Amino acid sequence: MSAVATYVRLAWAWTRALAQYPASLAMLTAAQAVATVGELAALVFLFGHAGRLGGFGLHEALLVYGLAGLAFTLADLLMGSVERLGEHIRTGAFDVMLVRPVPALLQVAVEEFSPRRLGKVVPCAAALGWALAALPAEWTPLRAAAVPVLVASGTVICCSVWVIGACLQFVALDAREAANAVTYGGQAMAQYPLAVYGRDVARAATYVVPLAFVSWQPALYLLERPDPLGMPEWLRFAPPAVAALLALVAAAVWRAGLRRYRSTGS
């Protein structure tokens, strides 16, 4: 709990620093929102013309987009800064974090926290709301309760992938680009129904970088649809377990990275 309080305290301090330039903050937030709305418009336009893609209609695709987008943008809001680990190591700022009595991962995650990232969260949440309102399946209490659980699981999965990617920078300070290919590339992919990409990609997204549990499997669960790629049915119940497991892996990788951390000269 005290870690959460510390996070909020630091995030608030960064927010206040940014709020000294309210016009700039508002503009950056708006720019992020516009970019996301543009992406959404492209999706609507695509399905408006093609009707169905890979057996999925507009509302179903919106559901996938909303789940993926919301999880990714929340993860970006909360932990997006971890991708700058290498920079902190190079400048020695990471050494400073290590001598404070607060977990270093928390400090890296909250560094330069910016509410402008909410500009991406809100349109994604709206898309998800729209898709859920149009959901053909019947609403049961279980299904209603599942929505926040699935979003939380997706967020944890994204955060974990991000942390693991950032830990590459303990080994090679310039590994950011390589990690970004997986994190941002994965995000772009997970925003569309996996059926579009075919079996091999879907397998990789299930068993290697498990982004299928962020949007695809949760969507199949909420839509009560059989998996068009023929993967096991039980996978759609796995997101919370995958999230917990991946978080443990990320924590272990982070600790291993810290153990081999060698600071910087000077």
Ligand X SMILES: Nc1ncnc2c1ncn2[C@@H]1O[C@H](COP(=O)(O)OP(=O)(O)O)[C@@H](O)[C@H]1O
Applying CB under 8 A, which residues contact other proteins? 2, 5-6, 9-10, 13-14, 16-17, 91-93, 95-96, 98-103, 259, 261-263, 266
Q: Which is nearer to ligand X, 96 or 145 (CB)?
A: 96
Q: Per rule CB under 6 A, is residue 15 in the interface with ligand X? A: no
Q: How are the residues of the chain apportioned to helix, strand and coil, as percentages rounded to the nearest 5?
A: 80, 0, 20
Interaction pattern, residues 207-246, with ligand X; x per rule: CB under 6 A:
----------------------------------------
Query: Tokens in use for 237?
Result: 């119940």
Other Cβ atoms within 10 Å of 62 Cβ, number: 24
Q: Per rule CB under 6 A, is residue 265 in the interface with ligand X? A: yes
Other Cβ atoms within 10 Å of 28 Cβ, number: 17
Q: Which is nearer to other proteins, 93 or 126 (CB)?
A: 93
Q: Per rule CB under 6 A, is residue 262 in the interface with ligand X? A: yes
Query: In the bound complex, which residue of the shown chain has the CB atom lying closest to ligand X?
Result: 265
Q: Closest separation between CB of residue 176 and ligand X, Å?
A: 19
Given other proteins, ligand X, none, residue 148, with its beta carbon under 5 to 8 Å by kind, binds none
Q: Closest separation between CB of residue 102 and other proteins, Å?
A: 5
Query: Cα separation of 92 and 78, whole Å?
Result: 23
Taking CA 75 as the corner, what is the angle to CA 73 and CA 77, rounded to the nearest 5 degrees? 70
CA dihedral 200, 205, 207, 210 (to 10 degrees): 180
Q: Which residue's entry shows tokens 């390589």?
A: 178
